């Protein structure tokens, strides 16, 4: 399974925005700068996340983006589905109905074992992402990132937040 770059970027953006004070926002250009990604491409994903109710846009001189809900109320699955959609990564094309053993569709009353295996895997994957929140990721980040990097990031955010 391969997720789009936008999913990774969107989750990272949400974690960064979770660190902001309630009255602050970050411009799309600043979020792109922080992550070293193309601003125009990131801006499209930020708009999608805002449309899905994950982010909120703030207008005006102090405008930008912030989380639309508390970090504990936003799941990684919310971000994945906003950017890549809700469909399963597995697309069954029913190849068992092709070739020399082909039978009419009416003969196949159940999904094949391969389809069922991928469907179960998708359910487990989605369940894990649904129980992992942006708050969980932020807590993990605070434990995993070197202290000097956290301090440097905090200074950059204080200077860049509006």
Report if residue 108 sits inside a domain.
Answer: no
Angstrom distance (rounded) from CA 19 to CA 17: 5
Q: Which helix (H) or strand (E) holds 7?
A: helix 5-17
C-alpha distances (whole Å) from 27 to each of 24, 35, 41, 157 are 10, 13, 14, 11
CATH at residue 26:
1.10.10.10
Is residue 112 included in any domain, yes or no? no
Is 51 among the domain residues? yes
In a domain, 75, yes or no: yes
Domain annotation covers residue 114:
no
Residue 12 lies in a domain: yes
Q: For residue 56, give the H/E element and its range.
A: strand 55-58
User: Domain containing 44: what range?
Assistant: 5-86+133-160
Structural domain contains residue 91: no
Cα-based angle 146, 77, 130 (whole degrees, multiple of 5): 90
Task: Decide if 39 is inside a domain.
Answer: yes
Per-residue pLDDT, 1: 61
pLDDT truncated to tens, each residue of the chain (162 aa)? Answer: 678 899 999 999 999 999 999 889 999 999 999 999 999 999 999 999 999 999 999 998 778 999 999 999 999 999 999 999 988 878 888 888 888 878 888 888 888 888 899 999 999 999 999 999 999 999 999 899 999 999 999 999 888 887
Report how many domains make up the chain.
Answer: 1
Q: 86 with 17: CB under 8 angstroms?
A: no
On the CB side of 119, how many CA atoms lie within 13 Å of its CA? 7
């Amino acid at each position: 399974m391969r997720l789009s770059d936008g999913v990774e970027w969107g989750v990272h953006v949400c974690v960064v925005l979770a660190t902001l004070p309630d009255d602050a926002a970050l411009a799309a250009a600043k979020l792109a700068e922080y992550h070293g990604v193309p601003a125009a491409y990131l801006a499209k994903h930020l708009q999608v996340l805002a449309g899905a109710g994950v982010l909120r846009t703030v207008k005006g001189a102090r405008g930008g983006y912030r989380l639309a809900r508390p970090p504990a109320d936003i799941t990684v699955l919310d971000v994945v589905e906003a950017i890549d959609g809700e469909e399963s990564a597995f697309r069954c094309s029913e190849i068992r109905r092709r070739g020399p053993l082909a039978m009419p569709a009416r003969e196949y009353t159940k999904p094949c074992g391969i389809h069922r295996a991928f469907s179960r895997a998708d359910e487990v994957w989605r369940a894990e992402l649904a129980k992992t929140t942006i708050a969980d990721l932020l807590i993990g980040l605070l434990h995993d990132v070197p202290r000097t990097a956290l301090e440097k990031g905090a200074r950059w955010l204080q200077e860049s937040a509006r």
